[in-house]
A and B are shown apart, each in its own frame.
Chain A
Amino acid sequence: MRLHRPLATLAAVAALAQPAAAATEIQFWHAFTGPLGEILAKQVEGFNGSQTDYQVVAVYKGNYSETLNAGIAAFRAGQQPHILQVFEVGTATMMAAKGAVNPVYKVMESGGETFDPSVYLPTVTGYYTDPEGNMLSMPYNSSTPVLYYNKDAFEKAGLDPEQPPKTWTEFGEALDALKASGSECPFTTAWQSWVHLENLGAWHDVPFATKANGFEGLDAELVFNGPLQVKHIQQLGDWAKEGKFVYSGRRNEGGARFRSGECAMFTESSAGYAGVRKEATFDFGVSNLPYWDDVEGAPLNTIIGGASLWVLSGHPEEEYQGVAKFFAYLSQPEVQAEWHQQTGYLPITLAAYDLTKEQGFYKENPGTETALIQMTAEAPTENSKGIRLGSFDQIRTVIDEELEAVWAGDKTAQAALDSAVERGNVLLRRFERAND
């Protein structure tokens, strides 16, 4: 008798604790960690708090390659998430995955959300639209490479901290001064293929691959071993030999070295701004990516890197309505403006760009508008709309390997780029074979 009352109370409490109607869960797999991960978590919290029907669950799955693999493996096992963050080099893979992807324009239309592609920045959406102009994925974090530099190191080297080098020739002079002032690492870079080959082509209106950089067909061939690219890579290789360019790694290992003050100049994604602002204990500046001023048509515009959100098929229809709601929330000017200001990623809508200008953000934070101006100053040509190649992640690995041989002094730039083109074309033909 004594035991029955506590048990009965316990049972009653347990019954009352059942939620009346559970919110539909939406799985969002992403590759953001560190400060970016925290900002993403706040964004997701904002959406979850703004309504009660849907609950987005953001899960960190590793770096971009690991996240894409996790998504593919999950899809094959029938356990796929609703939203997958895929880096830009995976675009061709996702586009070729017939039946696995639910295109964003369809998700938005059937979700009943008003969806007007013209409110998005054209250079951003161009990367993710099909030949008919339909948006296949939702641009989420798009960035473009810029130059970060250590103003304190510039002063120590006798350089004007408000006059960063605009051309690669001036850049070389800055390197000489920095090296003479005792810098152990005047210059390092992140994502070498993206910054110094892909964007080199776009910035100077020179193609990376035939067929409009792959937009027009799977039978594209690589052409990044032209005279301009060879000249640029050879220059970097010479600087490496002289100790002026120090190679840090294939991804973003150089970031830690810049933020710690070890390296004075750093070419990186504009989205590195969040980390630099948080960790740098020195005065730093953000400037345009340098260009070769003896090339006609330069500077044009740089292309985006980063990732977009793809929706995977195989879930019930009402869950996709939640996805549409989430995307509509993300596209709101206030949400985009806050995202852009805190991370350094580009605002994906024109309204967010205008709102940020109105708020005076760019005036208070010089250097943050650099990426936007770089992306929107000129109308893109077919060499600077973007790159859409199959097996692109593998091709980047090939490029990384060949470039590493140049930095180590084992190969000339011409030999390395020729070899990279040859090896990359083999991969392209294999992708074409698997997807025609």
Chain B
Amino acid sequence: MEKRVVFRPSPLPYLLVLPQLAITAVFFLWPASQALYQSLLIQNPFGGGAEFVWLENFEYLFSDPLYLEAFWTTAVFSVSVTALSLSLALLLAVMADRVVKGATGYKTLIIWPYAVAPAVAGVLWLFLFNPSIGLVAWYLKLLGYNWNHVLNGDQAMLLVVIAAAWKQVSYNFLFFLAGLQAIPRSLVEAAAIDGAGPLRRFWTIVFPLLSPTTFFLIVVNIVYAFFETFGIIHTITGGGPGKSTEILVYKVYADGFVGQDLGSSAAQSVILMAIVIGLTVVQFRFIERKVHY
């Protein structure tokens, strides 16, 4: 005999969700539909003379070698930020998990960078590495290494990767710490009794059990590197030198607001939206299934 629980229809759930729906509608659906519309136009920046051109903006983008290069730059940037940030956070989480004295102090300090705004983080690292007056740049010069990220594209990329990864370590740290604390102590102790050393215990037991957290964080970090690092890039390098740090989201800004080419910029943001939708689909469909529980 099946027992069915039927809830009486009530407007309360809808009312409770309404504020969130309103925010999503105003801050996402409305601008996104405007971007979709504008990506099909070529218009004068002041708004006059809009010409409907179907997919010409997209054709223009994909025939531009610099746009395709921006994809590669973004890929390098996001993979580097994710790898650096996740490994640092995992290391810190494993260390923080074992500490008993002063644990809260360490955890609070590690979480602080998350509260720093991206632009502020950018300026902070810029001051450290400024070729003329930066502290770190000065010490590097003493060691004989001439740091100049204004001219050297690889150094500029390294700098923005460090700044972006630094900011995200806190977020990853929190999740890793929670994930570590969810691992039953008995498993680890059993392995220790069987003679497994700490490294062996980590790689064969702890790390696989952390995989749901890790995969979730990989997707979150990639989305972060794609979209939330605009402030860091804008304050540190402005996309330069020579486009070496111009990631896709920065190109949207540069083409739309500096170049006043609204059609191309809107087309780029539509493409970015498609990418993030794709990433989310990947996350929900494949990763959730393959993960080891």
Q: Which residues of A approach B to under 8 Å, CB–CB?
A: 65, 69, 72, 75-76, 93, 96-100, 247-250, 253, 256-257, 262, 391, 393-394, 397, 400-402, 404-405, 407-408, 410, 423, 426-427, 430, 433-435
B257 within 8 Å of A by Cβ?
A: yes
Does B44 lie within 8 Å of A250, measured CB to CB?
no
Q: How far is the CA of A65 from the CA of B257 in the complex (A)?
A: 8
29 A/B residue pairs, CB under 8 Å, sorted by A = A69-B257, A69-B258, A69-B260, A76-B46, A93-B260, A96-B44, A97-B44, A97-B48, A247-B150, A247-B151, A249-B150, A250-B238, A250-B240, A394-B255, A394-B258, A394-B261, A397-B254, A397-B258, A401-B243, A404-B151, A404-B240, A407-B151, A408-B152, A408-B241, A430-B264, A433-B42, A434-B51, A434-B261, A434-B263
CB distance from B39 to the nearest CB of A (A): 14
Q: Nearest CB to that of A77 among chain B residues?
A: B47
Given contacts A72-B46, A426-B64, 17 further A-B contacts (CB under 8 A): A65-B258, A97-B46, A100-B47, A247-B151, A248-B150, A249-B150, A394-B261, A400-B240, A404-B241, A405-B242, A423-B66, A427-B259, A430-B60, A430-B264, A434-B43, A434-B261, A435-B49
Dominant secondary structure of chain A at its interface with chain B: helix
Q: Which residues of B approach A to under 8 Å, CB–CB?
A: 42-49, 51, 60, 64, 66, 132, 150-153, 238, 240-243, 254-255, 257-261, 263-264
Candidate in B45, B152, B240 with the most chain A CB atoms within 10 angstroms = B45
Residues of chain A within 8 A of B261, CB atoms compared: 391, 394, 430, 434
Does A262 lie within 8 Å of B132, measured CB to CB?
yes
CB distance from B223 to the nearest CB of A (A): 27
Residues of chain A within 8 A of B257, CB atoms compared: 65, 69
Q: How far is the CA of A99 from the CA of B48 in the complex (A)?
A: 8
Q: How far is the CA of A400 from the CA of B254 in the complex (A)?
A: 14
Residues of chain B within 8 A of A435, CB atoms compared: 44, 49
Which 5 interchain pairs have the tightest Cβ spacing?
A100-B46, A394-B259, A401-B242, A97-B46, A404-B241
Residues of chain B within 8 A of A253, CB atoms compared: 150
Q: How far is the CA of A96 from the CA of B66 in the complex (A)?
A: 27
Partner of B260, one of A262, A391, A410: A391
Candidate in B42, B258, B261 with the most chain A CB atoms within 10 angstroms = B258
Residues of chain B within 8 A of A99, CB atoms compared: 46, 48
Does B259 lie within 8 Å of A393, measured CB to CB?
yes
Residues of chain A within 8 A of B254, CB atoms compared: 397
Q: How far is the CA of A72 from the CA of B240 in the complex (A)?
A: 25
Q: How far is the CA of A72 from the CA of B258 in the complex (A)?
A: 11
Candidate in B48, B49, B242 with the most chain A CB atoms within 10 angstroms = B242
CB distance from B287 to the nearest CB of A (A): 38
CB distance from A49 to the nearest CB of B (A): 34
Q: How far is the CA of A249 from the CA of B263 in the complex (A)?
A: 29
Q: How far is the CA of A76 from the CA of B153 in the complex (A)?
A: 36
CB distance from A30 to the nearest CB of B (A): 18
CB distance from B47 to the nearest CB of A (A): 5
CB distance from B57 to the nearest CB of A (A): 10
Residues of chain A within 8 A of B48, CB atoms compared: 97-100
Does B259 lie within 8 Å of A391, measured CB to CB?
yes
CB distance from B143 to the nearest CB of A (A): 18
Q: Nearest CB to that of B152 among chain A residues?
A: A408
Q: How far is the CA of A241 from the CA of B3 in the complex (A)?
A: 83
Residues of chain A within 8 A of B151, CB atoms compared: 247, 404, 407-408
Q: Nearest CB to that of A391 among chain B residues?
A: B259
